[in-house]
Amino acid sequence: MVVFSEFESKEISLRVLGSGQFFQKETFGPETVNRGAVLMECEWHGGVFESGIMMGGIFRGGQFRDGSFWGGVFWEGEWLGGVWECGFDRNGRYHPRTDHPPFA
């Protein structure tokens, strides 16, 4: 999908991950939107996580709006919603399901 920025005239190639897709040990950048895929041991470097599952791996930036986060590292980014099952913060501290980002 190609999107034109409303502030710039340059094209942005958007990668949309959909329901039923599975990715393992891959890296996704700021041009990625997850709309239902399962990511296992992947790296998320920006972009928007709208739904799906992130299992293991590292969330390095972007927005986590919805979906499930299981056992990964939430290094950086904006937590707007979703299900936090468990995981680690950028200092390596474990957080159970009752304690989700942003961490104090």
Domain boundaries, the chain: 2-95
Work out the percent of the chain whose per-residue pLDDT is above 90. 83
Q: For 66-86, what is each residue's pLDDT tens digit?
A: 999 999 999 999 999 999 999
In terms of pTM, does the model score above 0.75? yes
Q: Which residue has tokens 């895929």? A: 37
Take residue 102 and report the two structure tokens written for it.
């942003």
Strand stretches in the chain, DSSP E: 2-4, 11-13, 15-18, 22-24, 27-28, 32-40, 43-55, 58-64, 68-74, 78-79, 83-89, 94-95
Distance of CA 2 to the CA centre of its chain: 21
